[in-house]
Amino acid sequence: MRTLAYLLRESWVNMRTNRMTTMVAILTTAFTLACVGIFLLLYVNLRAAAGWLQDDIKIMVYLDDRLTSDSIAEVEQHLRSDRAVASLLFISKEQALGEFKAQFPSESHLLEGLGQNPLPASYVVALSPSFRSPDAVKRWAERVRQIAGVSKVDYNQDWIDALATVIRSIELVAIGIGVILSAAAVTIIANTIRLTLFSRRDEIAILRLIGATTSFIRIPYLVEGAVLGALGSALSLVMLKFMYELFRQQMRTTGRFAGLDNLMAFFPPSVCLALIAVGMGLGFAGSFVSIRRFGEGKA
Amino acid sequence: MRSTSQGTIFDGKDTMIQLIHVSKQYDQRSALSDVSLEIGKGEFVLLMGPSGAGKSTLLRMLIGAERPDEGQIFVHQKNVTTLRPSDIPYLRRKVGTVFQDFRLLPKKSVFDNVSLPLLVQGVSSADIRRKVTEALRAVGVEHKRDQLPAGLSTGEQQRVCIARAIVNGPVVLLADEPTGNLDPVLTSEIIELFKLINARGTTVVVATHDPLVMAQVNRRVLTLSQGRLLPEQRGLA
C-alpha cells in the first residue's frame, strides 16, 4: 500500500516539478486530439444524417400502363412476399394525376391537352432496415425491374451514392489524420517523459542500485504518461464541445440551415469516456517508448 | 581472505564472494586482469589501490552493474555473471552499497531516503518505520530523520548513506571510497561504524586508497594495481 502510494506520489511530484513541460504537453496533446475530434464529430454526424436519409428512402415501382387489375394484383403479391419490403402503398393512375394537379396546379393544363392520363400506376415501397444500404437498395431495384409488369424502378440513386462517397472519404480522412495526429500525440508525450527521465537520471540510478525492479522504476513514468494523455484528451473534448456549441449558436442566429442545428449531436458520454481512454492509452504508449529508449539495464 | 593465483572451486556455505579469473577491459585498457579471490562470510576486507587500479570496477561487478569479459563471480552463492537482468535487483537487495558521493535524493527527507530499499521491496509501513528508525539509531542520526540531505554535514550524509545500505539487513556491505570526502576524525567514526556492522555478521568490503583507513581497520587487505591483484597483506595495527 505504501509502495503504491509512493509510486503515485512520485508521478505527481514528476508533474509538479516539470510544471511547464507538463502544461505544454497537455495543451499540445489537447490541440492535436481536438483536430482528430473535429473529423470524428463530422463523421459521426454525417453517418447519423445518412442513416436518417436511408430510413426515409422511398422507392417508386412504376407499373406498365397495359396491366390488367389481375396482373397488378400479381405484382403486389410478389412485392408483399418479398422480405425486403417493409411497407407498400398503391397509387393508381387517377391518384397520380390528382397528386400532380395538386402539386403543380399551373402545369395541369399540359396533361389535359393529351386527352388521356399519361401517368402510370405505381407502388411506393419502403424497405426493411437491413436492406437500406446503397448496395442493397441497388440490388433490390434491379431484381424488381425483372418482374413482369414493372416498367421502371426509381429512387434517388445518385444522391445516396454521393452521400456514401462523402462519408467514406471523411472516414478515410479521419482515419488518416487520426493515425498521424495520434502518432504526434505519442511523440509529444514521449518527449515530455524523456525530459523527466533525464532530469531524474541520478535518482533512477540510485533506485537501480538499491534493488528497484524495472517495473518499480517505470510505473511512475507510465502513470504520468497516461495522466497527461487522459488530461489532454479531456481538454480536447472541452474545446470541441465549446466549438460545437459556438457553431450551433451561429447556425441559429444566422438562420441558415434552419432546423439542422437540432439534428446535430455531440459525442455521447460513452464515446467521451472512450476518447479519454484512448488519450490515456496514447500517453501510456508515449511514456513506454521513452522508458524503453532510456534503457532499463543501466546501473 | 583466501585469494589464489589459480582460483578455487566455489565451496558454498562459508564463502560470501568469489571471483574466478575475472578480467575486464575498457577500450582495450585493462581494468581488471585475471583476478581470483575469495571472501568468507562475516569477513571485513579492505580493497586498496590507487585511483584507476580497478577497485570500483570490481565492486560494480559484485552488484551486476558491470559484466566481466572473462571469468566468473559468485556472491552469496549466486553466479552474478549468468544472472538475468531481471534477477539483478534481487541480488542488490542482499548487497548494501555506500558511495563516496553519498548519492542521497536531495528532495527527500533522511527518513524517506533510508526507507527507499524497503519501499522497493514492498515492506509494510509499520515495518518500514521500525527498520528505518533502527538503522538511523545505529548510525547515530535518528534526530535528523525529517531533515533534507542538504541540511546535514558531510559526515551525517555518509551516515545516512550507510543507514540506507544496512536498513534491509544485507549479507554484504560494499563501500566505494566511503571516507574520500571526510576529514580524519569523521573517517575514524565511519570506520568504527563499519566495524560495528561487521560485528553483527555482515560481510564488509571497503574500497579505499586512504592509508589511514588501513591503519585503523587492521584487517585483511586486498591490493589492486593496474587491474592486477597483488599478494595479500594485513592492515597495520
A182 and A35 within one domain? yes
Q: And the C-alpha cell for B79?
A: 553466479
Range of weakest confidence among A146-150, A155-159, B96-100, B161-165: A155-159
A44 and A89 within one domain? no
Q: Is the pTM of this model over 0.90?
A: no
In a domain, A225, yes or no: yes
Q: Does B82 touch chain A (CB under 8 A)?
A: no
User: Which residues from chain A sit within 8 angstroms of residue B162, using beta carbons?
Assistant: none
Residues of chain A with pLDDT under 70: 1-2, 54, 108, 111, 113-115, 157, 255-261, 295-299
A175 and A199 within one domain? yes
In a domain, B31, yes or no: no
Edge-first strand order for the sheet with A122-127 is A85-91, A122-127, A59-63, A150-154
In a domain, B227, yes or no: yes
A269 and A196 within one domain? yes
In a domain, A299, yes or no: no
Answer with the one of A126, A155, A184 that is the final residue of a domain: A155
Number of domains in chain B: 1
Task: Please give the pLDDT value at position B8.
Answer: 39
d(CA A235, CA A240): 9
A100 and A116 within one domain? yes
CA quadruple A256, A257, A263, A265: dihedral positive or negative? negative
Phi, psi of A295 (to 5 degrees): 95, 115
In a domain, B62, yes or no: no
Q: What is the CATH number of the domain that holds B123?
A: 3.40.50.300
Residue B59 one-letter amino acid: L
d(CA B109, CA B143): 12
Task: Please give the pLDDT value at position A259.
Answer: 65
User: Cβ of A2 and B117 within 8 Å?
Assistant: no
Q: Provide the mean pLDDT of chain B.
A: 89
The mean pLDDT of B112-135, rounded to a whole number, is: 93
The mean pLDDT of B88-102, rounded to a whole number, is: 92
Q: pLDDT tens digits for A94-119? A: 888 888 888 887 776 776 766 678 88
Which residue is closest to B67 within chain A, CA to CA?
A299
The mean pLDDT of B209-232, rounded to a whole number, is: 88
Question: Under 8 Å CB-to-CB from B61, ≥6 apart: which residues?
Answer: B19, B22, B24, B32, B67, B68, B73, B80
Q: What is the CATH number of the domain that holds A123?
A: 3.30.70.3040
Which residue is closest to B92 within chain A, CA to CA?
A211
Number of domains in chain A: 2
A167 and A145 within one domain? no
Phi, psi of B231 (to 5 degrees): -55, 145
Answer with the one of A109, A130, A155 that is the final residue of a domain: A155
A248 and A211 within one domain? yes
In a domain, B187, yes or no: yes
A140 and A96 within one domain? yes
**Closest C-alpha to B175, from B197, B143, B153, B156:** B197
Q: Which domain holds residue B47?
A: 43-56+83-231
Task: Please give the pLDDT value at position B151.
Answer: 94
**pLDDT tops 50 at residue B157:** yes
- In chain B, DSSP assigns E strands to 15-26, 29-40, 44-48, 70-75, 78-79, 95-99, 172-176, 203-208, 220-225, 228-229, 233-234
Which band of pLDDT confidence, cut at 50, 70 and 90, is reported for residue B139? very high
B229 CB neighbour count, 10 Å cutoff: 25
In a domain, A41, yes or no: yes
A181 and A270 within one domain? yes
User: Cβ of B103 and A213 within 8 Å?
Assistant: no
In a domain, B183, yes or no: yes
The mean pLDDT of B57-68, rounded to a whole number, is: 94
Q: Which domain holds residue A263?
A: 2-53+161-294
Which residue is closest to B129 within chain A, CA to CA?
A2
In a domain, B69, yes or no: no
A166 and A21 within one domain? yes
Give strand pairing partners of A235: none
d(CA A148, CA A67): 10
Answer with the one of A109, A139, A155 that is the final residue of a domain: A155
- Cβ atoms of A240 and A41 within 8 Å: the answer is yes
Q: Does B66 touch chain A (CB under 8 A)?
A: yes
In a domain, B63, yes or no: no
Query: Which of A209, A217, A218 to probe the B interface (max B CBs under 10 A)?
Result: A209
Task: Please give the pLDDT value at position A257.
Answer: 65
**pLDDT tops 50 at residue B215:** yes
A173 and A35 within one domain? yes
